[in-house]
Every structure is written in C-alpha cells, then in structure tokens.
Amino acid sequence: MIPDRRLVLMGLAAGLTGCASAPSSDARRIQGVPASQFPEVPFADWTDIEPEYVLYPGDEIEVATPTAGELTRQLKVGPDGRVSLPLLGHVMAADRTLSQLEGDISAGYATQLRRPEVEVTLRLAGPLKVWVDGEVRNPGVFDMPGDIDAYQAVIMAGGALPTAKTQQAALIRRGPGGVRMMRVVDLRPRQSEVVALRRGDIIFLPRTTLGELAAFFTQVRAAMPIGFSYSLNGGYAST
C-alpha cells in the first residue's frame, strides 16, 4: 500500500489520461447512471470482454532471438517500465502487448541483424494492483491477494467513511483497445454487488453523488507526473 494521497492521485491522473484516445461524446454512456451527469468525462460503453494482456513493471519476460541466440535474454520489467537489451539499450516494455514489444524490438534490431526475428513470452506476471480512493479511511494502491471483488478492496483500504455514498461507487477499468470504461456499483454492506476486480482497476467512493467525479478528475489531472504516463492498466508509457 502507498499511503501518500498525492502518489495515489499521480497514478490515477496518468491512468485516466494515459489510455487510448477518449471516445466521442456518443460513447459517454456509463452503466447505471445517465450520461448527462458527466458532460466533461467521456467513457466507452462497459464490456466484460478481457482486453489483450499488456506488460507491467515487475513482469518477467523472455526475449528470444532465434536467428541470434546469443542475444536471447530473460528480463524483468523495471520500475520505469523499461528492459535493457544488448545492442539496443533501454526499451520501453510496460503498457505494450507482447506482439507490440516484439515489433518494437524487431524494428530496433533491423539495423543490427540480417533477420531480426524476435519472440517475447511472459514468464511471470508481477503483483496485481488496484487503486482505491475517495471516501475511504486509507486511500492508496494495493496488491491484490488473489481474486477479490470491489467490496473487499474497499475493506483493504480501511473501509468506507460515514460520508461515503457507497451505493454509487465508481469502478473505472481499462477496456479493449486501452479505452477507459466506468460503471456504477453498489458497495453497501450486506447489499454490495459482487464485482470481480482486474489488475489496474480504480474504485472511487464519492462523498455525495457521482457528480463529485468532475472535481476528482480535475485533481488528478493536476497531479500528472511529467516524462511518462502510468496507464489505467498499471503500466508505464513514454510520452
């Protein structure tokens, strides 16, 4: 857990701006709430389709070069989202799919090798993290101890404050193609929906209504770190 609220906002800020380009105004349909409540916050329609896996800091991968076996390496994606490769130096890996990273490395080796064939495989996924913010006792970034739901994540954050509107919690998730999606979930005790979380999910408990999200988004944009972005799915991306 990272207790520093500013660090949480930095991660969330980049996550909400580091995804694929925002959907058009027709896509501002948020599951469970009228789009008119979010005139400045576009989201794609919610879907449970699992997006293609993207790499994260802490993931362990193998970069194999069948035509030049001496260049094959087993690597861990660093905290800055990069891996170090012979002849190429540091290459951004986080927030890339395996096929995208293969393409990036192949392009880099094109000037070094006659046949720059590259195969990237995931050996071990790093810690699964979720963000919990808003009206909770200990907002922060948390490692998922296995399969948990949204209500359990709020408990990990110390539980909801009495001021939280738990029946209108916001769950923000990276969807297919990297677009951000949001749905409203009821997280009241004994009435909470069982919503399984995915890596990189963001849970926000508003104080009064979901309209408070507009102010929240203003906060997190102001906390945006410079030089890299931390995408909604938890991976870094160069800017």
8 Å CB contact between 67 and 117: yes
7, containing H or E segment:
helix 5-17
Q: Buried b / exposed e across 156-195, counting CB within 10 Å, b at 16+?
A: bbeebeeebbbebbbbbbbbeebbbbbbbbebeeeebbeb
CATH of the domain at 167: 3.10.560.10
Domain boundary among 80, 103, 124: 124
Residue 15 tokens, joined: 């996550």
Q: Do 131 and 217 belong to one domain? A: yes
Instruction: Evaluate if residue 46 carries a pLDDT over 60.
Output: yes
Q: Looking at the structure, do residues 117 and 138 belong to the same domain, yes or no? A: no
* Residue 176 structure tokens: 């297919």
Among 68, 64, 54, smallest CA distance to 121 is for 64
Q: Which residue has the tokens 């929906």?
A: 193
Q: How far apart are the first and last CA of the chain?
A: 26
Q: Are residue 39 and residue 78 in the same domain, yes or no? A: no
Residue 79, pLDDT > 70, answer yes
At residue 35, does pLDDT exceed 90? no
Does 191 have pLDDT greater than 60? yes
Write phi, then psi, for 151 (nearest 5 degrees).
Answer: -65, -40
Which of 124, 141, 165 corresponds to the end of one domain? 124
Instruction: Determine the structural domain holding residue 71 and report its residue range.
Output: 60-124
C-alpha 166/C-alpha 186 separation (Å) is 6
In total, how many domains does the chain have? 2
Read off the pTM.
0.66
